[in-house]
Amino acid sequence: MARWQILLSEFDIVYMSQKAIKGSAIAEFLASRALEDYELLSFDFTNEELMYMAVVEEYPWRLNFDGASKAVGNGIGAVLVSPNGDHYPFTCKLDFDCTNNMAEYEACIMGIRAAKEREIRTLEVYGDFALVIYQLRGEWETRDPKLINYRKVVLELLEEFDNVTFSYLPRDENQMADALATLASMIKANKQEDMKPIQMSIFEVLAYCCNIEEEEKDDHPWYQDILRYVRNREYLEKATENDKRTLRRLACEYVLDGDILYKRRKDQVLLRCVDAVEARQILEEVHEGVCGTHANGFTVARQIMRFGYYWSTMKGDCISYAKKCHKCQIYGDKIHVPPSPLHVMTSPWPFSMWGMDAIGPISPKASNGHRFIFVVIDYFTKWVEAASYAGVTKSAVGRILKK
């Protein structure tokens, strides 16, 4: 590059930076330098076998199964879990007599057949019954004639898969399959009517909170008297002259726009007045809503006013709500500040201020029968004087101070 720069230095060359390259400019450049001899493009891909050599990493599915054999009936349950975390539950009522071991094998076969229908190639099977798991793994011998045929069916089904592993799982970690099996065992078999599928929903709020907007309504808001005066210039029937004077003074800070009452701040910003029900909803949204930060009461009050809302007891309600928030109490930082402010006691010169304290009673007693130690410390020099006594009495304290 240095050699090129020296060779080109004899020419008057001006370098211009290109701001943008348009597609039309590139097309015109290629058209101006077209080749005279046109060559046909070759579309033959000689290495077609490379297209089939791509290795696709296949994540395994998970199968949890369990069987329940009880006096009321027999049932089996299985849950297929996809690599993405989707759960596919299966349950079935066994309308024939069987042992608990047979029910476990029935549940395993049902789950493996469900995986086969979904064309799953890699499967991890988990069960909380050690006998079935270790027999299918080949570590235990199958001697029961009732289970030999079950094991043969499972091994035949495994030929349709690329890789299947069996693992033992504690009962506490297999609760979903156990619940399905228990539910199926308790259902009474009815061959005349079809059993409808079970639909499971998730409720995130309490039942009595679903219709809060329709049921709860504040009929007597805190600004009712102010609204009546601003709208109709009316007072309460039993209002005194002092009450009327106070109401007129308060009403000067409020503005009525249609049916909505606004509070005028000192900077002439209007804040919408809300009742108790709306105030509670605003507190929940600002403090712990989607964009809530679980701030303290003063910060929440400022945020609500910045959003344009106001009620008379805003600061007190915000502070009380933040103190009662369950998540704030659990995840909040620990407060190391003492409950009362600490005052540092300073001494202007040595031996002008002393601190006294008694330590004891000490067990066992000393040889002379003393059980207490009286300590006196100078605040300035940290000089310590100590003496032991049988009891901290008025005369003992007087003697050590005189000494």
The percentage of residues in the chain with a pLDDT greater than 70, rounded to a whole number, is: 85
Average pLDDT over the chain reads 82
Per-residue pLDDT reduced to its tens digit, 361-395: 888 888 888 888 888 888 888 888 888 888 888 88
Is the per-residue pLDDT at 20 higher than 70?
A: no
Is the per-residue pLDDT at 304 higher than 70?
A: yes
Neighbour-count burial for 351-388, b at 16+ CB within 10 Å, e otherwise: eeeeeeeeeeeeeeeeeeebbbbbebebbeeeeeeeeb
Note the pLDDT of residue 54: 43
- 3-class state of residue 308 by DSSP: coil
Note the pLDDT of residue 185: 80
The residue ranking higher by pLDDT, 292 or 270, is: 270
Note the pLDDT of residue 212: 41
Rounded distance between C-alpha atoms, residue 27 and residue 22, angstroms: 9
Is the per-residue pLDDT at 283 higher than 50?
A: yes
* Range(s) within the chain of domains with CATH label 1.10.340.70: 226-331
| Class of domain 61-186 (CATH, top level) | alpha beta
Note the pLDDT of residue 55: 44
Per-residue pLDDT reduced to its tens digit, 188-214: 655 545 566 666 666 666 665 544 444
Tell me the pLDDT band of 125, cut-offs 50, 70 and 90.
very high
Is the per-residue pLDDT at 76 higher than 70?
A: yes
List the CATH code of the domain at 226-331. 1.10.340.70
* Range(s) within the chain of domains with CATH label 3.30.420.10: 61-186
Per-residue pLDDT reduced to its tens digit, 150-161: 888 999 888 888
